[in-house]
Amino acid sequence: MSVSGCGGAGGVGLTAGEGEFNFVSPGGKTRIVYPPGERQEVGDLAGGSVREPDTRISLSDHEGEAVLLNLWASWCGPCRAEADELERLAERTSEENVRFLGVNVRDDRDSARDFAHNLDVGYPSLYDPDGRVTLALRGLPLSTLPITLVLDRDHRVAAVFLGSVVGRDVMSVIEDVVREG
């Protein structure tokens, strides 16, 4: 599947590249971990930056690195609650070739930028007000935010967390992915 979009908010084009990931929540679980043999790629996610509208950021900028992908919105209470913990995890894992990438959904640009600024979110976030980027993440229940995915070094989904993450839970998955090499 290839999805492209032109002229997202603020004139920033958004694209989602080839993606095979199709999420299904087995038995209504909110934390799903996939063994290496069952992982699916998400493809490239790319678009304008929340903080710097003229800057384009992409998942492919982190080739060969594990990535924690966090979908959030400024109006989401649990997103606000987990922001500080995710920032600490991003700092803690930066030397282990783990990168954090946020995806802001359904916000106007000012609200998204204020969220990142006021909560001191230092890692980059894609601005995706129309959901065009997140189309590559087929099946994710975007009515449930936040959503956090841990991607292995090949950008295959190693884990999905629906709702706020607890640092130790997501850290154990990150450590496993880093050990896989």
What is the model's pLDDT at position 24?
63
d(CA 131, CA 129): 6
What is the percent of the chain where pLDDT is above 70? Answer: 84
Please write the tens of the pLDDT for every residue from 9-49: 333 333 344 445 666 666 778 899 999 999 988 888 999 99
Residue 155 has what pLDDT?
A: 95
Q: Pull the structure tokens for residue 8.
A: 């997202």
Decide: 168 and 155 in contact? Cβ < 8 Å.
no
Kind and range of the H or E run holding 176:
helix 167-180
Nearest 5°: phi and psi at 60?
-65, -15
Please report the pLDDT score of residue 21 as a whole number: 60
- Token digits of residue 4: 């492209």
Tell me if residue 1 falls in helix, strand or coil. coil
Predicted local distance difference test score (pLDDT) of residue 135 = 82
Query: Which pLDDT does position 43 carry in this prediction?
Result: 82
Burial-class residue 41 by CB neighbours within 10 Å (0-12, 13-18, 19+): middle
Q: Which helix (H) or strand (E) holds 85?
A: helix 77-93
Find, among 58, 71, 103, 94, the residue nearest to 174 by Cα: 94
Domains parsed from the chain with CATH numbers: 41-180 (3.40.30.10)
Higher pLDDT, 95 or 139: 95
Output the pLDDT for position 122.
95
Cα–Cα–Cα angle for 44, 46, 48, nearest 5°? 175
Q: What is the pTM of this model?
A: 0.83
pLDDT confidence of residue 10:
33
Tokens of 143: 């009515």
pLDDT at res. 17: 44
pLDDT at 2 over 50: no
* Bridge partners, 7 (sequence order): none
Asked whether the predicted pLDDT for residue 128 surpasses 70, the reply is yes
pLDDT tens across 80-122, in order? 999 999 999 999 999 999 999 999 998 999 999 999 999 999 9
> What's the pLDDT at 20?
53
pLDDT at 4 exceeding the cut of 70 = no
CA dist., res. 21 & res. 41, Å (int): 6
Q: What is the pLDDT of residue 144?
A: 84
d(CA 137, CA 71): 11
> pLDDT value at position 157?
93
Amino acid 142: pLDDT: 65
